[in-house]
Amino acid sequence: MAALDPIRKAIRSPRGAGSAAVLVLVVACAVFAPLLAPYAYDIQNLPGANTEPGWAHWMGTDEFGRDLFSRIVYGARTSLTVAISAISISVAAGLTLGAMAGYFGGPFDRAVTAVVDLTWSFPEILIALILIAIIGPGLESTMVAISIAYLAQFTRLTRAQIMALKNETYVEATANLGAGHFHIIFRHLLPNALTPVIVAGMLATGDAIILEATLGFFGLGAQPPTPSWGAMMSSGTAQIFIAPWIIIFPGLAIALTVIAINLFGDALIEALDIRNRLRSS
Amino acid sequence: MESAAAMREGDLVRITGLTREFSSGGGLMTPRRTMRAVNEVSLDVPRGKVTGVVGESGCGKSTLARLVLRLLDATAGTVTFDGIDLASLSPGQMRKLRRRMQMVFQDPYSAIDPRYTIRRALLEPFQVQGVVQTAAEARATVDELISMVGLSPRMLSSFPHQLSGGQKQRVGIARALALRPSFLVLDEPTASLDVSIQAQIIDLLESLKEELGLTYLFISHDLSLVRYFCDRVVVMYLGRAMEILPGAKAQPRHHYAHALLDSNFEPDPTQRKVITMLAGEIPSPFAMIPGCAFAARCPAASDLCRRERPALEDLGGGHMIACHHPKN
């Protein structure tokens, strides 16, 4: 399939191949967590708390005696679910808003641009914290907060693409055939604008994992006993001198995943040759 | 109103007092400025004939093309197609009418969506117009269209970037003809092609016109090409029709049309001619000139020209001119 060609090309570089392998591993953890985890993630064993890493517990146990490896495997599920669904919502909304604003222009465009520029001027974490302060903590609100925090980026990117594309002759030629706005936007403009937005979305997923971990660290994300890498690190801070593995392993999981996403995204940009289009917004 | 029979004989498209204004600025810091891209142009396009519109870039000829097809709405004036006033149509009726009036674009390189195969691009007109075809019918239509413009059906699965400029323009023509229109607007269809390819495209357009009984409105900046190809020629300058020549043989009498014709190089060295350069500059399109638009550059301009705008007058035989002091 032609759509998979850039991915194939990206995997051919060493950087792309390595990062893709890590990503496959993380996704496998998330999907097959019940099969891969040796213990349940929420079984407490207080006498066995803060056990060092060893044969029984590869990554040791936490302050409640829960198996850290199992919690990290399940934590991949939380992190990926939240990050991927939040970014998907954000990309979908950003594509729609950006396409409408870029295509129709006028007062609607000015209104969208004003709001987008306003949110763009704040760091994402601040927007997410403000939103969570309003709607309350929890996994769903983390998702909503992250998707709104990244909306500006995708709206801007899509709008810039559409504004450049709408002056192409084929748009006028299609209108001259009698095509309506709907046909022009969905059959011509969006398919041509899609690639950079999808890649930006992929890169933002890495940032979203960090944002989810940050919110989890503050206790605003997933509520116990649901395992979340950020929340696990947060509980590890109290034990940092007694059981440093509690904070080290979730931290490594976050770092590895995010680095892999960034490297793979970079390889994909290279393969698609779209660095300029991403920068143009 | 004339009878339907008379209309079939006469003009397919009638343009009356057509004006289009564009404005820029009007923000907080910039004053609003208005320009007239097309200024009270009246023109009839006879059925089965080629009407040429010629003028230098920025004279409003492309805007005129878009107004005729109602890709732009006119500020004032009317366009009637086969007796139907385009401005009176609802979007649905306009969509239906677009089957009968199509356009070939100047830039074949961007006239086809780069993600579309040629096959898909040729089927899009039917999709847009809601014409349902079976797979076999679609295949037959596309094969017929592509061979009509002299391309091989093998090219159908190619993407636009795999085709040459001339091939792309042929696809552009095939796409315009897909819905069997009776009227084609050709917006500088050869301007971005090599000279050798230009002749092929003009030949193709000529034979298609005979074969399908088409009416053309041919827009160009090349007066010698227009005089070769067209039955009637309209010379435009700064949005205004300066002269309408009834045939290829007619000698232009407007000073601007003369200058345009003079600016063409003569390929025969024994027929070398003296090129008279125009003095002065084209006025800004934002300047609202009270008199003749060409007065600032015209060798024969008088006070009258600068004061009063000359009306389009009939010199007989369909030769019209807007000039106070026409050349003899």
User: What's the farthest any 2 CA atoms get from each other in chain A?
Assistant: 77
Q: What tens digit of pLDDT does each residue of A153-183 get?
A: 999 999 999 999 999 999 999 999 989 999 9
Give the pLDDT of residue B127.
Answer: 92
| Percent share of chain B, pLDDT over 90 | 37
Do residue B95 and residue A170 have CB atoms under 8 angstroms apart?
no
Q: How many CA atoms are closer than 13 Å to the CA of B285, on its beta-carbon side?
A: 19
Give the pLDDT of residue B223.
Answer: 80
Give the pLDDT of residue B6.
Answer: 45
User: What's the farthest any 2 CA atoms get from each other in chain B?
Assistant: 69
Say which range, A243-257, B41-55, B108-122, B281-295, has the weakest mean pLDDT. B281-295
User: In DSSP terms, which residues pair with B51 in a beta bridge?
Assistant: B217, B232
Q: What's the average model confidence in pLDDT over B123-151?
A: 91
Hey, of B62, B104, B113, which one would you mutate to test binding to chain A, going by the most A CBs within 10 A of its CB?
B113
A17 touches chain B (CB under 8 A): no
Domain-located, residue B113: no
Spell out the residues 6+ positions from residue A166 whose beta carbon is closer than 8 angstroms to its own. A102, A103, A189
Say which range, A40-44, A168-172, B269-273, has the weakest mean pLDDT. B269-273
pTM of the model: 0.83
Do residue A176 and residue B103 have CB atoms under 8 angstroms apart?
yes
Q: What's the average model confidence in pLDDT over B282-306?
A: 81
Burial of B144: CB neighbours in 10 Å, binned 0-12, 13-18, 19+:
middle
Q: What tens digit of pLDDT does each residue of B1-11 get?
A: 444 444 456 78
Find chain B residues with C-beta within 8 A of A173's C-beta: 103, 105, 111-112, 172, 175
Do residue A183 and residue B110 have CB atoms under 8 angstroms apart?
no
| DSSP three-state, residue B287 | coil
Give the pLDDT of residue A184.
Answer: 94
B162 touches chain A (CB under 8 A): no
Predicted confidence (pLDDT) at residue B71 exceeds the cutoff of 50: yes
Predicted confidence (pLDDT) at residue B266 exceeds the cutoff of 80: no
Hey, of B70, B97, B128, B162, which one would you mutate to test binding to chain A, going by the most A CBs within 10 A of its CB?
B128
- Provide ipTM, 2 decimals: 0.84
Indicate the pLDDT class of residue A257, thresholds 50, 70 and 90: very high
Domain that holds residue B301: 4-100+181-321
Q: What's the average model confidence in pLDDT over A113-134?
A: 91
CA distance B281 to B279: 7
Across chain B, what does the average pLDDT equal?
A: 86
Domain-located, residue B126: no
What part of B 118-157 touches A (C-beta under 8 Å)? 124-125, 128-129
* Beta strand B215-220 pairing with B50-54: parallel
Give the pLDDT of residue B276.
Answer: 65
CATH number of the domain bearing residue B305: 3.40.50.300
Domain-located, residue B273: yes
Axis crossing angle, helix A245-272 with helix A14-31, rounded to the nearest 10: 130
Which residue among B105, B112, B128 sits closest to A178, beta carbon to beta carbon? B128
Q: What is the architecture, at CATH level 2, of domain A15-34+58-279?
A: Orthogonal Bundle (1.10)
Do residue B115 and residue A191 have CB atoms under 8 angstroms apart?
yes
CA distance A21 to A11: 9
Indicate the pLDDT class of residue A64, thresholds 50, 70 and 90: confident
Which residue among A168, A179, A192 sits closest to B128, beta carbon to beta carbon? A179
| DSSP three-state, residue B211 | helix
Domain-located, residue B125: no
Residue B106, number of CB atoms within 10 A of its CB: 23
Task: Kindly state the helix (H) or strand (E) to which residue A72 belongs, with its residue range.
Answer: helix A68-104
Give the pLDDT of residue B5.
Answer: 45
Domains identified in chain B, total number: 1
A121 touches chain B (CB under 8 A): no
Find chain B residues with C-beta within 8 A of A192's C-beta: 113-115
What part of B 262-301 touches A (C-beta under 8 Å)? none
- Identify which has the larger pLDDT, A22 or A47: A22
Say which range, A70-74, A150-154, B14-18, B286-290, has the weakest mean pLDDT. B286-290
Q: What tens digit of pLDDT does each residue of B192-222 get?
A: 888 888 889 999 999 999 999 999 999 998 8
B93 touches chain A (CB under 8 A): no
Hey, of A5, A161, A167, A169, which one would you mutate to test binding to chain B, going by the most B CBs within 10 A of its CB?
A169
Q: What's the average model confidence in pLDDT over A228-250?
A: 89
Whether a cis peptide bond, with omega within 30° of 0, leads into A225 is: yes
User: In whole angstroms, how far apart are CA B314 and each of A23, B209, B260, B294?
Assistant: 78, 29, 21, 19
Residue A8, number of CB atoms within 10 A of its CB: 11
Count A/B contacts: CB-CB distance under 8 Å: 52
Domain-located, residue B327: no
Domain-located, residue B152: no
- Token pair 């600032």 is found at B296
Rg (CA), chain A: 22
In chain B, whose CA is at the least distance from the CA of A175?
Answer: B71
